[in-house]
Structure 1
Amino acid sequence: MGEPIRIKSLDPTLRNEVADLMKGFDYSNCLSCGMCTAGCVYSDLMEDHDPRKFIRKIALGMREELVSDPFVWNCNMCERCTVECPMGVNIAALTRAFRGKTAMPPGHLQIIADDHIRTGNQMAVEQIDYDETIEWIEELMQEDLKDPTFKIPLDVPNADFMFGFNAREIKHYPSELQTILNIFHAAKANYTLSSKRWDATNICLFTGKNDEFQEISRPLFEEAERLNPKEIIVTECGHAFRSTRMFARTFWKGKQFPVRHIVELYADWIKDGTLKPDKTRNVLPVTLHDPCNTVRKEGVSEPQRYVLENIVMDFRDMNPNGKNNICCGAGGGALAVAATKGQRMIKAKPKVDQLLATGATIGCIPCHNCIDQFNDMNKHYKLGMKIMHLSPLLEIALGLAEPE
């Protein structure tokens, strides 16, 4: 039996204080029924991983207990609990709001935010390194295309879309960016990259610090205003997509730009015949992970399935999937907190069981955050799978690359 709750220690102002931070999310309808805990796949895996207890502590004003409550930063903010809540209480939004009150987030979270504000991207890539990487990719594409005049379109005004991506695609995975640009070229897309503001990620989606959240995302939209594309397309990164859309609908007061995920663009191109993939080029069985920020939170579930059904011979969906999917265990900023590596592998077990149940050889993971977790679990659990984004599978089906 736990410690008794001392009435004198309760702070009745906490409830309204947190509610004011939530910007329209109401949690006053909580019935204390525990369906949130029943919906959390980690509540039986991790000690004190109980969203019901967390929300009751806020409602009761247990400020001191919450400051040291591990749930605040252990929660993956995946919203699986909200799927089960009969009143639709968004505990992820509640967790984010409470995190925003923290002076110093754990791990590298604040360092990443500070680097992004200082340099314009979360990996602190300097301008010269960005320029040289773009030039290098351009030279590789000129060679592959046998076209020495090919140029990556930088700062082109009035394009159909501006492409916002993840700093990992410059610093660590430039071949992934080349893959995407190969597909854009095959589609004869009228697009542009910014030479200055190109990182669509925002780590403050996880820290809850809205002033820094705005400071990070605003320059991307100011660049969109300068270049005036018809829309913003975001790469295979759930938190970049979610944060860009969230900023657009909550904080941005300038010219409005539709924000779409790259898989939606791919689906449109296949449907209208712009791209004509050959699924027989991908013969191995493929399964699909649904990133929480893309699918459950932003509702993009079918386009990636449509694309896979048209680019692979043997697509095997996980169960459950879509909005009922199981989080990979690395959401909520966990990848940036080194101490959570062991915890992440414990939380990965339900997803590992899903993977194995499909019998698939390839795991398609359309999210940078999730794919790092899947690569870790692939090694930790010795799954022997090939873990890929969706773009390389499409590139193969288009005959732009050979199957590995």
Structure 2
Amino acid sequence: MEAIKAADFNPKFRDEVAELLKGYDFSNCLACGMCTAGCPYSDIHENQDPRKFLRKVLLGMKDEVYADPYIWYCTMCERCTIECPMNVNIAALVRSLRGTWDKDKIPGYLQTIANEHIESGNQMNVGQVDYEETLEWIEEELQEELGDPNYKIPLNKKGAKYFYGFNARDIKYYPNELQTTLKLFYVAGIDYTISTKRWDATNIALFTGQTDDFLAISMPLWQEVADLECEELIVTECGHAFRSMRWGYRTYWKGKQYPIRHILELLNELVKEGKIKLDPDAITEVVTYHDPCNTARKEGVYEAPRELMRSFLKNFVDMNPHGKMNYCCGAGGGGMAMPEYNDIRKAKGKRKVDQVLATGAEIVIVPCHNCMDQFNDLNKWYPEKAKSPNVHMCSLMERALIMPEKE
């Protein structure tokens, strides 16, 4: 091991980091190693030790900190933080340090996504004409499927109870997913709207730490909810979209106040109220559920999805651990958008594959677009996992949906 020289320490670096981390205290570290013990991937590949990384920061080893691959290997899942007796938030530290990076040196195509989102209003760079034509296509499909020629997607409806924010993948790649969700909304008869102005709830700058980009991306959507005078913002099955909307709202939004909820919280409520009826005999397969870190650990949404699942699934089996203690799928922190680290992402994913296999699941509910991409890659990388297909919760609910009789 190379000797560490005190003369190389930069005592001012701690002050620089403290200035970045206003509201977070990282100096209480006991060097106990609980963070490393809590990280599910500290023993999977090199340079994945939160304790060592934090010690470099505290000792003022600035050059070593910025040269450490940990900054970009870390999935920012906060599994280490809940194990820390001093509640040191390593994810917040990593994000803050990433935010000091020159934008043209950020790995992968993270910054490209941010730039395109700022320019086009969505992370998939979908043009306005394509967006509106896709909504028209979905509307026509639903008119036929529902047997209701008068069905219309409520666009830009002022004063609607719910504003629905979703993922641009639902327009560019998976319009059937959006169609399924809107079908559930139709059956429930809820008062909602979709904007043709701002609709993508995702924000890749959650991972890059670039605050100017983060605000340029999310602020217009929060403003659109306020301008349409909606009572509540509902965010789709996307962990980082939900985290971006709710954490960013708490941190930066100063306008009209309104609650922000995950769609699974709303759907559970609608099922309990009897507005959506599900056949408990429709799905007989063994089903397990993946807790996205941004939804479960960071925003505390893990009980409502389970209450919802138990209302219509005969054979639900939880992973171990799950809920707040879940393991990251391995693609968090922007990992999906950094192809140069695919080998790292694949190695981390094996731990999640082992979790799934231990449940004996035939279906895996993955309520997050980012996690879904990782799980689909895991099916390609690990043939044993391919036996259990991945679905969003809304898609599984559609299989069990009891359509109301027409009057």
Q: TM-score range by the shorter chain?
A: over 0.9
1:183 partner amino acid: L
Q: Distance in 2 between matches of 1:210 and 1:18?
A: 15
1:266 corresponds to 2:257: no
* 2:163/2:192 contact within 8 Å kept: yes
Cα offset for 1:244? Answer: 0.3
- Name the counterpart of 2:67: 68
Q: Does 1:19 align with 2:18?
A: yes
Q: Secondary structure at the match of 2:233?
A: strand
Q: Aligned pairs, how many?
A: 399
Aligned residue type for 1:179: T
What is the TM-score with the length of structure 1 in the denominator?
A: 0.97
Q: CA deviation at 1:147?
A: 1.6
The aligned amino acid for 2:69 is P
Secondary structure of the corresponding residue to residue 250 of structure 1: helix
* 1:282 CA drift (Å): 1.0
Q: Secondary structure at the match of 1:260?
A: strand
CA drift at 1:9: 2.3
Q: 2:140 matched to which residue of 1?
A: 139
Q: Which stretch shifts more, 142-151 or 18-27?
A: 18-27
Alignment match, 1:105: 106
Give SS of 1:317's match. coil
State which of 380, 393, 398 in structure 1 corresponds to 2:396. 393
Instruction: Give the counterpart letter for 1:55 in structure 2.
Output: L
Cα deviation for residue 399 of structure 1 reads 3.8
For the 8 Å contact 1:242–1:294, the answer to whether it is kept is yes
Unpaired segments ≥5 residues, structure 1: none
Counterpart of 1:326 in structure 2 is: 327
8 Å contact from structure 2 (residues 330, 345) kept in 1 = yes
Normalising to structure 2: TM-score of the pair?
0.96
Paired AA for residue 356 in structure 1 = L
The root-mean-square deviation of aligned C-alpha atoms, in Å, is 1.0
User: How far 1:74 sits from its partner (Å)?
Assistant: 0.2
Instruction: State the partner residue of 1:95.
Output: 94
Structure 2 unmatched runs, 5+: none
Distance 2:280 2:229 in 1: 36
User: What letter is aligned with 2:342?
Assistant: K
Matched, 1:335 2:339: no
Q: Which residue of 2 aligns with 1:297?
A: 298
Give the letter aligned to residue 70 of structure 1: P
8 A contact 1:311–1:393 mirrored in 2: no
Residues 238-253 of structure 1: matches in 2 within 5 Å? 238-253=239-254
**Which residue pairs with 2:45 in the alignment?**
46
Cα offset, 1:22, TM superposition: 2.0
Does the aligned pair in 1 maintain the 2:277–2:402 contact within 8 Å? no
- Look up the match of 1:160: 161
* CA distance in 2: counterparts of 1:292 and 1:241, whole angstroms: 11
Moved more, 360-369 or 6-15: 6-15
- Superposed, 1:358-397 pairs within 5 Å as 358-382=359-383, 383=385, 384-397=387-400
Runs of 4+ aligned structure 1 residues displaced above 4 Å come to none
Distance in 2 between residues matched to 1:240 and 1:116, nearest whole Å: 13
Instruction: Tell me which amino acid in the other structure corresponds to 1:303.
Output: A
Deviation at 1:247, TM superposition (A): 1.3
Aligned to 1:352: 353
How many angstroms apart in 2 are the aligned matches of 1:80 and 1:279?
Answer: 34
Which one-letter code corresponds to 1:357 in the other structure? Answer: A
For residue 313 of structure 2, what is the aligned residue in structure 1? 312
Structure 1, residues 189-215: CA drift from partner, whole Å, max 9, x if none? Answer: 100000110000000110011111111
Q: Is the 8 A contact 1:248 1:256 kept in 2?
A: no
CA–CA distance in structure 2, aligned partners of residues 376 and 311 of structure 1: 28
Q: Please say if residues 237 and 366 of structure 1, whose CA atoms lie closer than 8 Å, have aligned partners that are also in contact.
A: yes
Q: Distance in 1 between matches of 2:97 and 2:53?
A: 11
Deviation of the 1:222 alpha carbon: 1.0
Aligned AA for 1:131?
E
Q: Which amino acid aligns with 1:172?
A: Y
Report if the CA contact (8 A) 1:238-1:369 is conserved. Answer: yes
Take 1:354 and 1:368, find their aligned partners in 2: how far apart are those partners? Answer: 19
- How many Å separate the matches in 1 of 2:21 and 2:218? 19
Mapped partners of 1:375, 1:153: distance in 2: 32
Name the SS for the 1:281 alignment partner: coil
Task: Report deviation, 1:23.
Answer: 3.2
1:234 shift after superposition:
0.1
1:303 and 1:253 mapped to 2: Cα distance?
Answer: 28
**How high is the sequence identity, in percent, across the aligned residues?**
57
Q: Distance in 2 between matches of 1:203 and 1:12?
A: 32
Deviates more, 1:172-181 or 1:345-354: 345-354
User: How many Å apart are 1:48 and its aligned residue?
Assistant: 2.1
CA distance in 2, matches of 1:249, 1:286: 34
